[in-house]
Structure 1
Amino acid sequence: MNKMAALLSGALLLGLFPALVAPTPAAAATSSPFTVDVSNLYRPVTHVASGSLYGLAEEGRPADDLIAPTHPKMFTQMAPDGQQLPNGETKPIGDALKVAPIAKRNGAEVTIRMPDIYPDFPYKWVSWDDWYAKVDKMVKARLDSGADNVYGYELWNEPDWTWDTNKAGAFNDGWTKTYNRIRTLDPDTKTIGPSISKYDSNFIKSFLTNARDTNTLPDIISWHELDGPKPIADHIANYRAIEKELGISPRPISINEYSTPAEEAVPGDLSQYIAQFERSGVDTATIAFWYRPGRLSNLITANGEKNGGWWLYKWYGDMNGQMAMTTPGNSSNLDGVASVNNDKNQVYTIFGGGNGNQNVVIKGLNALSGFSGTANVKLESTPWYGVDTAVSEPTTVFTGNVAIQNGQIVIPVTDMKASYGYRLTVTPGAQSDVTRYEAEKADVQQASVLSSDHASSNSYVGRIDNPDSYVQFTVNAPAAGNYNLTVGYANGGSSTSQQALSVNGAEATTLNYPATGGWLDSTDGSAVQQQIALKQGSNTIRFTKAGSGYAELDYVQLQQLGSFKQRVEAEDAKITGARVVNGSYASNGKFVGNIDNSDSSVAFTVNAPAAGTYKMDIGYANGTNATSTHTLTINGQSQDAVSYPTTGGWTANVPNFGTRQIVTVSVNLKQGENTIVLGKGNGYAELDYIEVYP
């Protein structure tokens, strides 16, 4: 789909004013977790959803080292000698036969989208003689090319709205004529259709009935999924029922355009599409083309670098062996796919779409090789900072050893962001290099180890109720320095509870545990975070009863902070007189807009490791015609105003299309917690995030 012109026409009006898009409420915690059943291996790994529309432009665009790791199966590309001008191009680009060698050496096939031989979109029909001449030209070029990786001819694109019935007659008759014309010249290359813009059972049934009766059935059935992932499984089930009703043998399904403009390349969104395609048995699927050719449908930045979405597809490309059945959380968008390697001693799970604290359950491990007693798990995340923000590598969230009980493990995932993607790697046996420690394996005094399906490793420590009760973890730090400590807990009381936290016997600090709505025997837990300093080597972290209330402990998790850099999303700050707005070009898919009144402000909290001068990047958009400003206050002290040059539009005018920019200022911070407030100044500007570093 090539609709940038239509999107931009709306943006010209919206660009005069701040965005007025309503935010989407945060997803609630799941009442049942995302589940992987590794005893149910349902199909070989073929990376069905790893292709893209117009993802290849020409040699070197994109580079092979960006294509190959995603293990693409199929690309949908322009017709031979097509005259389309893909968005932003001054010449036709992406000819299927010219890029077929690129696809082949990277393990992929190409679909020839025949109507893209026309120069315009929507297509402008000339005559049947003209169309027949074009078909003859394209088929001859395909045969002369000798390419052996052509997936098929896509006879038309989105005929439900681009076929000119007045001039060309009914589409079903046009399909029959075109199909027969192709078959007189090429009896072997597969045909693909009808490629409607959205699933329509009446259209499909009429099309298949005509194709059956005229002996022109497509070899591959296709349509587009551009309205979100939720209906996909129902669409495929409905299609299979139509096949059966009409007595047609099952066709491979190609969803050769998927995702909305706002979802394109966003890991948390695309993981849900991949899950639907894999579980439903789709043969191929290609991400839609909304913005720029030659960028794997925006998995690559404008500068040819990997962004957060690329890493999700790289993880997908890493899968091998057999796909394992997954079940999404039943009250969340959390979904994904899993695979078991051929040796049956490694499980990969990629997932996303969940928000906050979620659980992942992997069951059926007793059906695999070597999984008994303990499994080692590694969790990684890939962020969404916007399509043109490079991500050099994923973040390792934690590694840990988890007890296997009744053939399954439970892994809490803390502080998920719905736009991020996640990968969980599970292998047999315990490893010594871990950053996540289970409470039941700690030194437990005057407290009880208890069991629950809601707890990490199915166990936790409760009844930490007495003055002499404690849970002491012995942890290993690879280097001396500051670490982020995540504490998994439950507080089934009605108010905040406290415990004392002591590191290596030093003076204790107080940890506050907000209520979680239940104890771990009946509901999922939550987590709190605290920065601590560790020495290199062995350290002790002790939790004791303190203050009011009660809390249960599930696990602790360490993440080395390394060189200081703190990124704070504007939507996570304290917002006054403004509001959170969805926008896929924004970091984490959200930003703060309507900072329009004299009392409007966004207050960020930053914890600095030492007093001194720092740089602060501010992600912003200014859709006015002149420089705008925000007031800047640090710890109550007024600073020079921050100036925002115009960016050519507001963040959400056109999703994924680059109106956010960055301005950098110097700030003086004290050691510890700092409050940085940006408020309404002259003109208008939207805020995406701040990032503070030395």
Structure 2
Amino acid sequence: MGISRNRLVPGLVGLAASAAIVLPLGIGMPVSSATAEEAAPAQTLNVDYGTTTGDFYGGSSGMLYGLGDEGSPTDAILDGARVQVTSQKPADGLQHPSADVLAVENQFFNNGGEELVVNLQDWYPDWSYNGGKRPGDTRSYKLDVDPNDAQYGTYTDNAPNDRWDFDEVLEVVMNKILANTSHPDKIVFMPFNEPDGGNWYPSGDNANADIYKQFLTDWNDAYATIQKVWNQYKSGEKTNVNGVKPTADHALIAGPGDSVWRANRTKALLESSKAANTLPDVIVWHELGNGSLKNYRSHYNQYRSFEQELGITPRAINISEFGELRDMSVPGQLIQWMSMFESTKVQAQTAYWNYAGNLNDNMARANSANGGWWLYKWYGDLRGTQTVKVTSEHPDSVDNLQGVAAIDTKNRKATVLYGGANDATKIGANIPVTVHMTGLDQSVFGESVDVQVRENAYTGPDGVAATPRVVNVLSDQKLVNGTLDVTTTSIDRYAGYQLVVTPHQDVATALDNAENGRSLQAIEAENTTLSDGAKAYTKSDNTGSWGNFMFSGNGDVGNFNNGAKMTWNVDVPADGSYRLQLITAPAGFPGVNHVYVDGKSVGDLNVPAELALKEAAKWKYRGSAEIVLDGLTKGNHAITVEATDLDNESDKLLLYQVSRGDGTPVDQVTYPASDMRLDSGAVLSYDGNGMNGFADLNGGRADVFAHAWDAGYQNVTIAYNAAKGAHFVLSVNGQSAADVTAQSDGAQTATVRVALSEGINQLTLSGEAGVRVASVTTARASESDSKAIRFEAEDAQLSGGAKVQKDDASDASGKSFVTGLGNQFVTNESGKAGYGDQTRVEADANHVPTVVQNNKGTMTVTGVPAGTYNMVVRFSNDAFIGSHSYNPQVVDLGLQVHEGEQEIARGSFRYTYTEKHFMNRSVTVTTHGGALTLGNWDEVGSRKAAVSWGVAPNVDSITFYPITDGNVIDSVSGVTVSGEGVSADGKASLKVGETLSLNASVTPDSVADKSVQWTSSDEQVATVDEHGVVKGVKAGTVTITATSVADPARSGSVEVTVVEDSEQKPSGGDNNGEQTGKPDGNTGGQNSDSGAGANSGNNQKHMPLTGAAVASVAGVAVLLAGAGLLLKRLRSRS
């Protein structure tokens, strides 16, 4: 967005030919079709691409305390979500034990962040601040030493000094920030938070109350102090440790910060601050309740009217908290908020209901996506576009269909994000939604377009959401007067959808269905067959609820005690392997549920611990557990989940197809170029050369955010077109993995076997102009996992306070793990009984913990060769410091790796709800082959927030995966047939009964499988065996062909003439049978795969692909295999 002093960004009838309806999964059963009688009434979202509404603002991706510490969340999660703005606490602030602005700023701005807001009152340890009362003059703060001196900002009680105490606090926090920040111009300072409520100036909306008049005076004083300190650093009077000076003419200040829209108070502040020249740069208030979905626009319009009435230049707006627990992680809810905030071009931050560092419940586990994260990712993809007018049938209403739409003219792509279609049941199951688009400019899109729709289902706040599936595909749809209708049935009101329109492409993406090995079915837990005590509960639809999480289907299953069962009678669409996912929540500890298929035990679901520290979360903060069911056959099966003593409540079950069971890749997912995030010059190309819709890297980069269910090796296959010798680089999570050089001209593939992290992985392609990428496909390659080096923590060499702990109730491997790494907190079991882990860190009234620093624990492993690794740490963290009215005061812990005296890697490790539950977190590490020691050497108070306590997480195991396994595997560029007696023009002869040995050469050398299949065009004339030995049978002429097994589109051949024994053999040329080198130095027979353009006339028709078709596209075949796009060269044939 860029930062300026005033950052306001100014602000269906008709059918397309052959519009399609695709019905994705339904509630309780898969839906493949619907009769008119069964279908729910369609709902329409009108999108007018002829009316732009301004540059995409992107402010709806904001968060309050979305970040915990540097590395929490991970770079891939943060960059993927493209969080534009987040509010954090001031340096050394005591309100929360983590989320210090100085700890997160570098990572935030390096991963797409644009603005950091600092809640300056969060210097105070208590909520409400200072006991809810405006401070007076009772303290003297030490201000006469360096801001980085340990004594700076300490205070003496009962020591008035004729200065308002909070004014001194403001000077303290401003100095601490400006003396250390690397990004002063990107920080916004907010002096007051919820002043209208419990924080010092409660008057409702009475602007005439004496307490509010005091606020107006205090506002002016606070503004002056902030600007005073700012100018001291700008002028050089005070210095910054990084040598950074502010450059803006003044500090950005936000306010008033009211807990709801207060029209009278806001107008009074504008009037007063205009007169005093202390106007806020950013106007701030909250929109928390669901009623805001109905009322926000009227609040916005009223505020803008005040500016106009008072002659004030439009201010930027930040809705500093929005949404309820029921909205977080729910795509169909979040899109309703995003649509109204984006349409009014304001910033908006999700509320901080739980703990810092997990994007306000919009990510899962340590590095995984939930449904909310994918919506943020899609929204972030719109940067650089222009938004267009969207009209819902339910404007300014609660829980209904809404959307955001944008046009990217550079990449010739239109996008609609939508969701929330609802009905009287408040579930909104299987509602057809028609996106009615008008104004699609033919100068941008041409006469026909392709459409792809992806579905993003709700999986709970801590439940893993895989890459959203393609549920609707339209190819070569004719635009009629710029109009197009696309109808897709919405699974339920909780899901979100991404619709992408492009000009007609030369490649297309397949539906994610059973035919392509990517089907998905779901059922609400309460709709399964329950027995042995399990009970279905009806829940509120959560309208009007501040403190409830969303319940999918307005129900769940409880009373799930020992032996209780829920059975899903499911119609499996095809033979293959399937992943069963249970969306569930125990009471704060891990355990298992048994799984049976048709009465036969198939293993256990390992149910992770979930948040249970407060009533609103216990049994309601849902995560997920998964198990792969191998060898399911097509047809009806009974899948039963049986309870143990875990006592978990469950929301729904999902069944993902893993593979078709016919040797096809496992967990294969294709990301087409139109889904990639392009930057630094990379652009989608539509120049009519047979590569329409490819991403031309053009010296820039293309990012794919790929999901992996578990850590380990995946084949990453890049389908691309380039000139021979062109190159590009594949990087994984910031680490270079492969430098790829094109082995031939034209379409080809390169496969790199890469160790990916569990969860989201950022795959980056960077390269020169002319390298045009069609797609990136990932597929599990678990056979290479044996290359990893794994250590059980208890087998490592331990020292200091590190020790082995045995716990049969944990989900640690072997039920043992190592504790005490780094410093150690002093803890006690003081948490409320029955609400999860009771362990609490001893701390003083300011939430400063007691830390043992004289017995640092370490663990050392040996035998890891020199190299670069994806180091997967299986860890747990139950650190809880201090107390708060509703925010669990949990913290991240730090772990570093030393080789000798040098730190070679570090990471932040999130709260895992209990020490008994372990998660996986990956850290990239490059070693020189020496012993590796793990611990935490950070000094207490080193301004790394929670990590600075020098305490490390518990460790169960460490696994080192070499970043890549093997070299780049290129696609076959050609097959050449040669042999003694084969002429330069590919001819040979032999007599009846004689044999001729042929050889086949597959190029390039980097092809993994060089085997070929030999065939004869007429076995009555000559036969050929698997070794290429040809035998004459009778007189005549045949073609002997060697076809690549790796790429059957590639082959080479020779023409063999068989003569009777009495006949003279033809020479096959003028060289009397001697081999003669070709002009290029090669010998042998015809290669049917000539270079790019060799047989590509201008009369070739460019056709897209759907289903399993193969079309000739300028000498390129595009074969849709499974869910992937495989590009192959074709020989032109007459």
Structure 1 residue 278 corresponds to structure 2 residue 307: no
**Inter-partner Cα distance in structure 1 for 2:348 and 2:274:** 25
For residue 424 of structure 1, give the secondary structure of its aligned residue in structure 2.
Answer: strand
Which of 571, 574, 577 is the equivalent residue of 1:607? Answer: 571
> In structure 2, how many angstroms separate the alpha carbons of the residues matched to 1:651 and 1:136?
36
- Are 1:310 and 2:274 counterparts? no
Give the 3 Å change call, closer, same or farther, for CA 657–212 of structure 1 in structure 2.
farther
CA distance in 2, matches of 1:33, 1:686: 36
User: Is the contact between residue 431 and residue 492 of structure 2 (CA under 8 Å) also seen in structure 1?
Assistant: no
For residue 163 of structure 1, what is the aligned residue in structure 2?
199
1:569 aligns to what? 524
- For each residue in 1:516-559, what CA deviation from the matched residue of structure 2 results, as whole angstroms up to 9, or x when unmatched? xxxxxxxxxxxxxxxxxxxxxxxxxxxxxxxxxxxxxxxxxxx5
How far apart, in 2, do the equivalents of 1:572 and 1:281 lie? 42
User: What is residue 463 of structure 1 aligned with on the other side?
Assistant: none
The match for 2:409 among 318, 342, 352 is 342
C-alpha contact 2:73 2:358 (8 A) present in aligned 1: yes
Larger RCO (CA under 8 A, 6+ residues apart): 1
Letter in 2 for 1:136: E
**2:499 is equivalent to residue 424 of structure 1:** yes
Which deviations, in whole Å up to 9, do the C-alpha atoms of 1:602-626 show, x marking residues without a partner?
Answer: 6633113689999866544566999
Q: Counterpart of 1:37?
A: 48
C-alpha change, 1:304 and 1:613, in structure 2 (3 Å) is closer
Q: What's the counterpart of residue 176 of structure 2?
A: 141
Give per-residue Cα distances to partners, 1:354-385, cap 9 Å, x unaligned: 23223333433443534343221001122221
Conserved 8 A contact 2:587-2:619 = no
SS in 2 for 1:161: coil
Distance 2:646 2:355 in 1: 32
Query: Following superposition of structure 1 onto structure 2, how do residues 342-381 of structure 1 map, counting pairs within 5 Å?
Result: 342-343=409-410, 345-354=412-421, 355=428, 356-367=430-441, 369-381=443-455
Cα contact 1:50–1:73 (8 A) shared by 2: yes
Match for 2:53: what amino acid? Y
Match of 1:217 in 2: 279
> Equivalent residue of 1:61, what SS?
coil
SS at match of 2:445: coil
Alpha-carbon shift at residue 31 of structure 1 (Å): 6.4
Distance of aligned partners of 1:328 and 1:192 in 2 relative to their CA distance in 1, 3 Å threshold: same
Corresponding residue for 1:206?
268
Structure 2 distance, partners of 1:95, 1:624, is 27
Any idea what SS the aligned residue of 1:160 has?
coil
Please report how far the alpha carbon of residue 243 of structure 1 lies from its aligned counterpart in structure 2 after TM superposition.
2.4
**CA RMSD, Structure 1 to Structure 2 (Å):** 4.3
SS in 1 for 2:226: helix
Give the secondary-structure state (helix, strand or coil) at the position aligned to 2:48: strand
Distance 1:668 1:377 in 2: 34
What is residue 384 of structure 1 aligned with on the other side? 458
- Please point out which of 462, 471, 486 is paired with 1:397: 471
For 1:300, the equivalent position in structure 2 comes to 363
Deviates more, 1:100-109 or 1:114-123: 100-109
User: Is the contact between residue 620 and residue 687 of structure 1 (CA under 8 Å) also seen in structure 2?
Assistant: yes
Of 75-84 and 331-340, more deviation after overlay is shown by: 331-340
Determine the structure 2 residue equivalent to 1:109.
115
* Cα displacement (A) at 1:234: 1.8
| TM superposition shift of 1:38 | 1.2
Q: Distance in 1 between matches of 2:415 and 2:575?
A: 43
* Residues 1:57 and 2:64 aligned together: no
State the one-letter code of the partner of 1:398.
Answer: N
SS at match of 2:337: helix
Task: After TM superposition, list the pairs within 5 Å mapping 1:579-594 onto structure 2.
Answer: 579-581=537-539, 588=552, 590-593=554-557
Give, as a single letter, the amino acid of the residue that structure 1 aligns with 2:121: P
TM-score (norm 1): 0.67
8 Å Cα contact 2:47/2:405 also seen in 1 = yes
What is the SS of the residue equivalent to 2:59? coil
CA contact (8 A) 1:374 1:430 kept: no
Partner of 1:132: 167
**Distance change (3 Å), C-alpha of 1:312 and 1:560:** farther
> Does the 8 A contact of 1:591 with 1:686 survive in 2?
no
Distance in 2 between residues matched to 1:353 and 1:613, nearest whole Å = 32
- 5+ residue gaps, structure 1: 1-27, 86-91, 437-482, 485-558
Distance verdict in 2 for CA 1:666–1:275, change over 3 Å: closer
Structure 1 contact 257–285 (Cα < 8 Å) conserved: yes
Give the C-alpha shift of residue 676 in structure 1: 5.8
What do the CA deviations read for 1:248-296 (whole angstroms, capped 9, x no partner)? 33211111222212211321111111110111121x2222222221222
CA positional deviation for 1:135 = 0.7
- CA distance in 2 between partners of 1:78 and 1:433 (Å): 47
| CA distance 1:346–1:185, shift in 2 (3 Å) | same
Determine the C-alpha separation between the residues in 1 that align with 2:115 and 2:493. Answer: 32
Q: Write out per-residue CA displacement over residues 573-592 of structure 1, whole angstroms, 9 at most, x where no aligned residue.
A: 47897344258767847542
SS of corresponding position for 2:490: strand
**Partner amino acid, structure 2, of 1:155:** P
> What is the TM-score when the length of structure 2 is the normalising length?
0.42
Do the aligned partners of 1:32 and 1:330 also contact (CA within 8 Å) in 2? no
8 A contact 2:42–2:431 mirrored in 1: no
**Per the alignment, do residues 53 and 260 of structure 1 end up closer, same or farther by CA in structure 2, a change over 3 Å counting?**
same
CA distance in 1, matches of 2:575, 2:411: 52
CA contact (8 A) 1:54 1:297 kept: yes
Deviations 1:22-71 (A, max 9, x none): xxxxxx96765112111111111231112221122222222222222333
Q: CA contact under 8 A between 1:619 and 1:687: conserved in structure 2?
A: yes
* Whole-angstrom CA distance in 2 between matches of 1:623 and 1:162: 32
Gaps of 5+ in 2: 1-38, 138-163, 203-209, 232-249, 422-427, 543-547, 659-1134
Does the residue aligned with 1:224 lie in a helix, a strand or coil? strand
2:242 pairs with 1:172: no
Q: CA deviation at 1:647?
A: 7.6
Match of 2:190 in 1: 154
Instruction: Look up the match of 1:479.
Output: none
Distance 1:142 1:241, change over 3 A: same
Give the CA deviation at 1:673.
Answer: 2.4
The structural deviation recorded for 1:225 is 1.5
Return the alpha-carbon distance in structure 2 between the equivalents of residues 242 and 387 of structure 1. Answer: 39
Matches within 5 A, 1:417-566: 417-429=492-504, 433=508, 435=510, 560=515, 562=517, 566=521
Farther-moved stretch of structure 1 (160-169 vs 122-131): 160-169
Q: 1:77 to 1:669 in 2, by over 3 A?
A: closer
CA-to-aligned-CA distance 1:188-234 (integer Å, 9 cap, x gap): 01110011112122332233333334332211111111113332222
Q: Using the TM superposition, give the Cα deviation of residue 665 of structure 1 relative to its aligned residue in structure 2, in angstroms.
A: 11
Number of residue pairs matched? 537
SS for the counterpart of 2:305 is: helix
Alignment-mate amino acid for residue 592 of structure 1? D
Give the Å deviation of 1:158: 0.9
Matched, 1:120 2:136: no
